[in-house]
Structure 1
Amino acid sequence: MASDIFLPNRTDLAGSWFLDSGIRYVSGGFARFYGADLGKNRRLSTEITGYSISALAYLYQRTGETRYLIAAKDAADFLVNAAWLPSPGIWPFEYPTSDGPEPLTYFFDTGIIVRGLLALWRINGSQGLLDAAIAGGESMNLFSTCEAGVHNPILSLPSLQPLAYQSQWSRSPGCYQLKSALAWRELSVVTGRSDFRDSWVKTATWAIRHADAFLPAETRSKTMDRLHAYLYFLEAMLFEHEENVLSRGITMVSHNLRKIRDEFERADVNAQLLRIRLLAHQAGLVPWNEVEGREEARRIATFQALSDDERLHGGYFFGRRGPDLVPHVNPVSTAFCLQALEMLSDFDCGKKLDEMSLI
């Protein structure tokens, strides 16, 4: 592992991992993660492909290297032309749906995909991408419940029947879904459609009202997992300029992260928290905590793999249990971590941070 936070080629290594490690399939889609313990990828994930488009678009904007733009377009083409199910008009959780477990579709995943398509659309202006993003935004209504702002997290395919809620955070409605609902907010700005805006407002209203009940979980380890999800909520709050929610949330997450991390620490929690600190400070909402922010950056750097194994080299490990790294390298941790360190570098140089580029 490297200790220098601003290692000159740290971001280049992470970018090359996206393209050359094997985490990206020939189809253009991306695997959920690479398991170093088993030496193989998990199945292709539409959500992770959506996140990867956002990351590749960000890398292209940072570097100007067309290899990232080409890979982002290939991933978007896969989602739009291969993975999308014309009937019932939605993206499946994993692809293909024919050779795995029961086919499902997730509300959260759909919003992440839409945001990825919009990130690429803002670069190339493709009408096809915008049309696909709009269709995806409309499909998010399939998850609606009878309670305003509440969305079934998972539907079975092709029936679209909701799965019973479970205690696992991703299998129940929660404030974390507001990050996905940012897709509606972005679409409302782009299209001017009031229905997208109304969906965003209702979801935000419900999320703010119920966010305090999201933490803690029944165990310390599960609380760390929920910190990751709660930070999705705080990311969305940046766009509503909710000063009190952000201030309390940052303090609470920071406290719990430091209390639990000797037992279990997630790389993405450090990265998400650092990104939120920087953007909240820039917006004049929450003062920058120099000591804690720098410490989080140093922790992030320790999760990057510098290895002779090309399947690992440059990517970021999921986390650490005790002294041992969890042997999973994944696109989401890699995207969040590389962006957090790039944002801190820009902050130190006095550059304005772009909240719309938040992966």
Structure 2
Amino acid sequence: MRGLLSVLLLLSVALNVYLWQKQASAPVETRTDGHSYIRQENPPVSPAPTEAAPPTAPAPNRLSEYRQWLESGQYERLKEALNRALKASPLDAEMLLLEAELVLQTEPLSEAILHYYTLLDLPLAAEVHDKVNARITSLTSNAASQLRQNANWSLLAQFMEPLFQRMPTDYQYARWLAEAYAQQQKPTLTEDVLAALPATDPAVSRIRGLLVTVPASEDTADTRASDSTSSEAITIALERGRDQYFAHVRFASVPARLLFDTGASTTAITDSLYKALKRRSALPFIGNFTVNTAAGRIRAAMYEVPVLTFGPLRIEDTPVLVLPPSVLPNADGLLGMNVLRGYHFGIDQQKAALTLSPLKPN
């Protein structure tokens, strides 16, 4: 019995040695990279490598939610969300355009337009670049038109200076900036900007002419009562304050009490009045500007008011700045000179009345 077990053990060892030698004799191939592997008759098929997936477009519901945040003024929340989204997909066109709209709502208009210019430097689709260019043109043209129509030359210059520095070969930027300087009687700055225009440009001689003749009504405000009143003169009662006068106006159907300020080039309203107007109808947004006030320099949003009524005057599409409540605690805003740009005016201090005489055309 013991002999039989010995024989079986020897047979088992011999079989294992045979199988080991057979496996060791399998052919071996060497790859060009120096690594070896055992060739198999039917090697397992590996799955084909997958290509990197392109950046995924934002989910429609998420993009819609972000736009709602923008419309409702949840700017910080939106900013954080966009930062995360653009970190994951830096060239997501929809998110980039939404970020540009956020900058438009929260930064000065010139900075917002400069931000749009940075999008043109990115490798985005041609239709996206077309959309950005159209937005730049719309924003600059609308703001420049409003500021020029209301003779707000200091704000126009402030708006155009960084844009002209960014695009010194843009002739329209040069025309607007040179005109703003000329209207403020700044000949050196005017000529510096006019040098960017062709000598044959008709705007060159027109703008230079502004340095020669400036109507007194556009240069300084005359607050003295006129010695004589023309037949076309208009008299509007004012409210006398301690050392100030207040004008009672209406923005559509909303009454307001505005401080009569001959030093303000643009009419301004408080944030509370703006909210009251916004509840009735949306006001077109023009952009943010940095303005000087009695409380110092502040950033204020400019909107377009469809109708402003002051006595018998009805002024349409008037730009107004929205000021924080702390700037004007005792009034609903300031009545700026853009409302009276077509008139000579004087104040009868005894009667607390404003006399307006239409300017005669040149």
Query: TM-score, normalised to structure 1's length?
Result: 0.26
Give the TM-score normalised by the residue count of structure 2: 0.26
Greater RCO (CA < 8 Å, at least 6 residues apart): 1
